[in-house]
Amino acid sequence: MDFHYDDQNIFAKILRGEIPNSTVYENDHALAFHDIQPQAPVHILVIPKGAYMSLDHFAAHATPAEQAGFFAAITAVCAMSDVGSGFRAIANTRAHGAQEVPHFHMHILGGRPLGPMLAM
């Protein structure tokens, strides 16, 4: 897979401080912030600070420190959010996955029953 990262995407602009965000957690390698159009009471996006366009790009090329930092952010977000009864983690990827922003992000959704995995 030939991964191409476009640094003009909206999350790259958030990471550069060009666009504001509602941060819930940050470490050296990851940032977590509220989705601007929440689909559930909890809807947080967790992104790596590195230039990765998708989950498979990140999994294949991120350093161990970047991967550990990303999962530390997931851990922190889950610990500070109302997801004890369960949640859904989604990484929409490229065209068939309906990915809108080409910077890897994990949606953390919860705070209510979320229903079936896919709407038919």
Quick check: 88 and 109 in contact, CB under 8 A?
yes
**Measured distance between the N- and C-terminal CA atoms of the chain, rounded to whole angstroms:** 29
The pair of structure tokens assigned to 90 is 């989604």
Q: Cβ 64 to ligand 5GP, closest distance in Å?
A: 25
Quick check: 44 and 79 in contact, CB under 8 A?
no
Nearest residue (CB) to ligand 5GP, 17 versus 64: 17
Is 105 among the residues known to form the active site?
A: yes
Distance CA 83, CA 69 (A): 20
The pair of structure tokens assigned to 56 is 């498979």
Q: Exactly one of 29, 103, 105, 107 is catalytic; name it.
A: 105
Distance CA 47, CA 21 (A): 12
46-85: contacts with ligand 5GP (CB under 6 A): none
Nearest residue (CB) to ligand 5GP, 23 versus 75: 23
Near ligand 5GP by CB under 6 A, which window of 27-35, 46-54, 66-74, 110-118?
27-35
35 binds ligand 5GP (CB under 6 A): yes
81-120: contacts with ligand 5GP (CB under 6 A): 92, 98-101
Contact footprint for ligand 5GP (CB under 6 A): 10, 19, 21, 33-37, 92, 98-101
